[in-house]
Structure 1
Amino acid sequence: MASPPKHETWPRPKQVRHAWVANHGRMMPRQGLVVEWRNRSSGWTALVAYVNDVNGRNKLIVEWFRASELWPVVTDPNQRGRYNGTDEPDR
């Protein structure tokens, strides 16, 4: 029988990249992925990629948001809920 790995868990990410994007005129907040941060004279902004459902069709949108329009989603890479390839993922 093989020995367990030296480290049984992955370290937590140093940066949070998953975020909720404020509704910004939309019906509900969107799940987003922060691609880049910039510190501008007006404050911090983030380039965020998110999916917008328009008439049942998903459209990838990438746009800049003020940091105040985002809130972080802390994720854990050790969470065991994974797609197994046979079940349909949540849509």
Structure 2
Amino acid sequence: MNASRRDTWPAYRPTRHVLVLRKRRYERPWQGYVVDWKHHSYQWQALVVYQDETLDGSPLVWKWFPVDELWPLYPDPNPRREPNF
């Protein structure tokens, strides 16, 4: 049975989910959410909320990051489903 077009979510245009790249090459990036943007000395920066697993208790952290330290993620609310035969 095929899903009708009414049953799917529309595609998201702007992304707010990002990976925050870490300083060391092989460290796992943090998953973050962009809250705000600002232009600072010829470069865009994003205020990102992320959970820092390296700190005791894994607190939520709010921090400004330059754009070159962020990697956009594009969440898809319509995952591809294989038919069940």
When structure 1 is superposed on structure 2, of 11-20 and 22-31 the one drifting more is 22-31
> Which residue of the partner structure matches residue 37 of structure 2?
37
In structure 2, C-alpha distance between the alignment counterparts of 1:38 and 1:28, rounded to whole Å: 26
The reply on whether 1:68 has 2:68 as its aligned counterpart is yes
In structure 2, C-alpha distance between the alignment counterparts of 1:55 and 1:40, rounded to whole Å: 28
In structure 1, C-alpha distance between the alignment counterparts of 2:41 and 2:29, rounded to whole Å: 26
Question: Any unmatched runs of 5+ in structure 1?
Answer: 81-91
> Which residue of the partner structure matches residue 52 of structure 1?
52
Q: Deviations over 1:10-64 (max 9, x none)?
A: 1122211111101035932111111112223331100000001136621100100
> Which residue of the partner structure matches residue 10 of structure 1?
9
3-state secondary structure, aligned to 1:57: coil
3-state secondary structure, aligned to 1:68: helix
Corresponding pairs, count: 77
Question: Any unmatched runs of 5+ in structure 2?
Answer: 81-85
In structure 2, C-alpha distance between the alignment counterparts of 1:63 and 1:55, rounded to whole Å: 15
In structure 2, C-alpha distance between the alignment counterparts of 1:73 and 1:60, rounded to whole Å: 19
- RMSD of aligned residue pairs (Cα, Å): 2.5
Q: Which runs of structure 1 show a deviation greater than 6 angstroms over 4 or more consecutive aligned residues?
A: none
Q: Could you state the TM-score of these two structures normalised by the residue count of structure 1? A: 0.69
Change (3 A) 1:56 1:41: closer
